[in-house]
């Protein structure tokens, strides 16, 4: 049996103000990319800080490759990019990376040999010789990534790794994370950028008010059921109940919204009897059955298309109607 990269059992941190997280249990395998989602104040950063040894848990335990969190042995396995951080302004970028390398037990020469590669990898290049006080927030974020990678750790904890970056920077970070994943790194990603999580992660968990609300494989969460749309001409309202009854599928008239709109389709010149119908459908045979019913009724079927659910919708649906302690509280 292989040891899990990250094994969290009932990990709890309780604060007097009621914040923190409770009874979190997750096991993450080696080489897996895990996305951790949740509204502001859900307790995501608290959990990450416990895992990297910055906060002592109130209860429960967790291990990184079998070593208890907070121990020196466990910290040898990790690279960490905090959410809110700055680096020593009086040092140069190279010196900051070297310092992190030395703290990881690397010899000065070994750290020096890795620094140019790391600077290139995160896109800082020759700016490594500048003092950190001259760095923009985005450059500091890149420097943070270089520091996290200095000891070539098998586990990476990244708390909002591209929050301060421009779109080009975000693409760079996303590409870097994909490379790291291909190299077999275990990635624990805290991010508000759901598209980033969707692109990189294999599994996700949603934290709300300090407890895990949902978790699962990204492809299961997003593609377990697919929403299908049918563009129909010659539609009369009376036909809809018949279609639902005959097919056994809860078809309904589609109202275009910002999240679902296919601009080209919806902006096409509508006619009074042309509508969109939509339904959640488990398999393609059912889609074929509905199209047959539509055509047999003498209606015109202009388009049939699956609509891929986005993580954002999953997230909104999961937390909608729930109270959550936000930053306004």
Partner 1 sequence: MTAVIGMTWKELLRKKVLLMTVLMTVLFLIVFWFIARTIGASEMMNSSPSAQLVEQFAQGAALLTLGFFFGSFILAFLVIFSSFSAISGEAETGIMQSMLTRPIPRWKWYLGRWLGYALFGILYALILYISIVVIADIHANVPKDIWVHIQSYLLFALTVPVLVTLSLLGSTSFSAIGNGVFMTMLYGAGWLGGMVEKVTSSMQMDPEVLKTLYNITGLISLIMPVDAIQRKMLALLLGLQDLAGMLDMSGSITAGFGLGQIPSASFIVYAVIYTLILLAWGTRRFYKKDF
One-character DSSP codes across 103-167: HTT--HHHHHHHHHHHHHHTT-GGGGGSBGGG--HHHHHHHHHHHHHTT--SEEEEESTTTT--H
Q: In this chain, which of 18, 68, 103, 179 binds partner 1, going by CB under 8 A?
A: 103
Shortest distance (Å) from residue 85 CB to partner 1 = 3
Span of 103-111, 202-210, 276-284, 288-296 interacting with partner 1 by CB under 8 A: 103-111
Pair 19, 159: CB distance under 8 Å: no
Q: How many CB atoms lie within 10 A of CB 85?
A: 13
Of 19, 308, 43, 17, the closest CA to residue 8 belongs to 43
Q: Is there binding between residue 63 and partner 1 (CB under 8 A)?
A: no
Q: Closer to partner 1 at the Cβ: 15 or 242?
A: 15
Span of 94-102, 170-178, 233-241, 302-310 interacting with partner 1 by CB under 8 A: 94-102
Q: In this chain, which of 5, 8, 24, 52 binds partner 1, going by CB under 8 A?
A: 52
Apex 191 CA angle, 187 and 192, nearest 5? 160
Q: In this chain, which of 18, 68, 105, 288 binds partner 1, going by CB under 8 A?
A: 105
Q: Is there binding between residue 136 and partner 1 (CB under 8 A)?
A: no
Q: In this chain, which of 34, 87, 235, 315 binds partner 1, going by CB under 8 A?
A: 87
Q: Is there binding between residue 107 and partner 1 (CB under 8 A)?
A: no
Radius of gyration for the alpha carbons in the chain, expressed in angstroms and rounded: 25
Round to whole Å and give the CA distance between 213 and 117: 40
Q: Closer to partner 1 at the Cβ: 49 or 170?
A: 49
Q: Closer to partner 1 at the Cβ: 1 or 84?
A: 84
Shortest distance (Å) from residue 97 CB to partner 1 = 11
Q: Closer to partner 1 at the Cβ: 72 or 258?
A: 72
Q: Closer to partner 1 at the Cβ: 173 or 232?
A: 173
Cα 116 from chain centroid (whole Å): 29
Q: List helix spans (H) across the chain.
A: 44-51, 72-75, 93-103, 108-121, 137-149, 167-182, 194-200, 218-223, 239-247, 263-267, 284-296, 311-319
Q: Is there binding between residue 36 and partner 1 (CB under 8 A)?
A: no
Cβ neighbours of residue 247 closer than 8 Å, sequence gap 6 or more: 286, 289, 290, 293
Q: In this chain, which of 11, 55, 158, 281 binds partner 1, going by CB under 8 A?
A: 55
Q: Which two tokens stand for residue 43?
A: 């307790």
Q: Is there binding between residue 147 and partner 1 (CB under 8 A)?
A: yes
Q: Is there binding between residue 303 and partner 1 (CB under 8 A)?
A: no
Q: Is there binding between residue 75 and partner 1 (CB under 8 A)?
A: yes
Span of 73-81, 112-120, 200-208, 301-309 interacting with partner 1 by CB under 8 A: 73-81
Q: Closer to partner 1 at the Cβ: 43 or 144?
A: 144
Round to whole Å and give the CA distance between 87 and 186: 25
Residues in touch with partner 1 (CB under 8 A): 49, 52-56, 72-73, 75-76, 78, 80-82, 84-88, 90-91, 95, 99-100, 102-105, 144, 147
């Amino acid at each position: 049996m292989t040891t899990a990269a990250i094994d969290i059992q009932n990990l709890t941190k309780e604060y007097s103000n009621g914040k923190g997280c409770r009874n979190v249990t997750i096991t993450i395998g080696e080489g897996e990319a895990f996305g951790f989602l949740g509204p502001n104040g859900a307790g995501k950063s608290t959990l990450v800080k416990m895992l990297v040894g910055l906060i002592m848990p109130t209860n429960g335990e967790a291990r990184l490759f079998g070593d208890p969190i907070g121990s020196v042995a466990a910290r040898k396995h990790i690279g960490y990019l905090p959410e809110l951080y700055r680096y020593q302004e009086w040092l140069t970028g190279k010196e900051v990376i070297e310092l992190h390398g030395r703290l990881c037990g690397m010899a000065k020469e070994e750290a020096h040999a890795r620094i140019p590669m790391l600077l290139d990898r995160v896109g800082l290049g020759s700016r490594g010789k500048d003092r950190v006080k001259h760095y923009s927030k985005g450059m500091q974020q890149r420097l943070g990534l270089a520091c996290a990678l200095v000891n070539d750790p098998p586990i990476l904890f990244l708390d909002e790794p591209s929050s301060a970056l421009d779109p080009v920077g975000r693409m760079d970070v996303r590409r870097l994370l994909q490379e790291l994943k291909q190299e077999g790194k275990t990635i624990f990603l805290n991010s508000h950028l759901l598209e980033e999580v969707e692109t990189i992660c294999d599994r996700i968990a949603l934290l709300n008010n300090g407890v895990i609300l949902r978790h699962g494989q990204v492809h299961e969460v997003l593609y377990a059921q697919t929403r299908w749309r049918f563009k129909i001409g010659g539609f009369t309202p009376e036909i809809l109940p018949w279609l639902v009854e005959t097919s056994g599928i809860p078809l309904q008239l589609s109202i275009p919204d910002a999240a679902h709109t296919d601009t080209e389709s919806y902006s096409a010149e509508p006619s009074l009897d042309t509508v969109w119908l939509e339904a959640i459908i488990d398999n393609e045979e059912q889609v074929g059955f509905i199209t047959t019913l539509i055509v047999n009724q003498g209606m015109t079927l202009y388009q049939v298309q699956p609509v891929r659910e986005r993580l954002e919708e999953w997230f909104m649906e999961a937390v909608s109607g729930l109270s959550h302690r936000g930053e306004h509280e």
